């Protein structure tokens, strides 16, 4: 049975990814800062027949990352979906940047410390995650076709809800997103 570690799994996209991977027969390690207060995640775990394990993990805290990796105790992780993230400090401008805060944002949002600690776990296990990363040239944030379809399915309800909420506030949410897509298509570059 393949396994996935999903951060920020207590709500939103993280919860939906956890639910969908579980439905597809994966063993899911659902991580969030305070799993005891994540009631929907607890209900999902209780109904999973031990296929979903809740895990305390704060991606901004190196000690928490190390503790979560230690709790996995050599369990093979086939997929790391680093959904958790943080925003930067407000009021930063050119010439007024808190570099320490920026480094924390970059580390948390890229999942580098988490991947490093899990790499130690992979090295101690049967190495399926490490081998998968090596086959994919260790590229972060790369999805194959089936992963992309799963991501689209998870994002669609969030997209629909955002459009509904924005429209309810007097903004044409759908048009706003269509305009953003047009700008990305016009000026964006993909490689």
Q: Walk me through the domains of the chain, giving residue ranges and CATH numbers.
A: 3-142 (3.40.50.720), 143-191 (no CATH)
CB atoms within 10 A of CB 8: 22
pLDDT for res 113: 76
pLDDT along the chain (191 residues), means of 10: 89 90 92 93 95 93 89 81 81 78 78 73 48 52 59 65 73 73 60 41
Residue 56 Ramachandran class (φ > 0 left, ψ -120 to 50 alpha, else beta)? beta
Task: Return left, alpha or beta for 89; rule: phi > 0 is left, psi -120 to 50 is alpha, else beta.
Answer: beta
- What are 31's two structure tokens? 């991580």
**What pLDDT score does 31 carry?**
94
Distance (Å, rounded) from C-alpha 110 to C-alpha 112? 5
Round to whole Å and give the CA distance between 190 and 143.
14
Reading the block at residue 85, the tokens are 């993230």
CA–CA distance, 65 with 120 (Å, rounded to integer): 12
Q: How many CA atoms lie within 13 A of 99 on its CB side?
A: 1
The reported pLDDT for the residue numbered 35 is 93
pLDDT at position 139: 47
Give pTM, 2 decimals. 0.61
Q: How many CB atoms are located within 10 Å of the residue 106 CB?
A: 12
Picking from 71, 86, 76, the residue whose alpha carbon sits closest to that of residue 31 is: 71
């Amino acid at each position: 049975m393949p396994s996935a570690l999903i951060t920020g799994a207590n709500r939103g996209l993280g919860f939906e990814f956890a639910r969908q991977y579980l439905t597809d027969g994966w063993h899911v390690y659902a991580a969030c800062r305070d799993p005891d207060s994540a009631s929907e995640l607890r209900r999902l775990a209780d109904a999973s027949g031990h296929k979903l394990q809740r895990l305390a993990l704060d991606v901004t805290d190196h000690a928490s990352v190390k503790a979560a990796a230690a709790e996995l105790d050599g369990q093979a992780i086939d997929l790391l979906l680093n959904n958790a993230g943080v925003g930067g400090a407000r009021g930063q401008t050119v010439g007024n940047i808190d570099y320490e805060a920026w480094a924390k944002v970059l580390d948390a949002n890229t999942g580098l410390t988490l991947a490093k600690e899990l790499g130690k776990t992979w090295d101690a296990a049967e190495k399926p995650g490490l081998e998968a990363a090596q086959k994919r040239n260790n590229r972060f944030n790369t999805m194959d076709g089936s992963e992309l379809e799963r991501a689209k399915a998870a994002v669609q309800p969030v997209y629909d809800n955002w459009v509904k909420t924005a429209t309810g506030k007097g903004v044409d949410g759908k048009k706003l997103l269509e305009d953003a897509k047009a700008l990305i298509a016009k000026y964006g570059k993909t490689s």
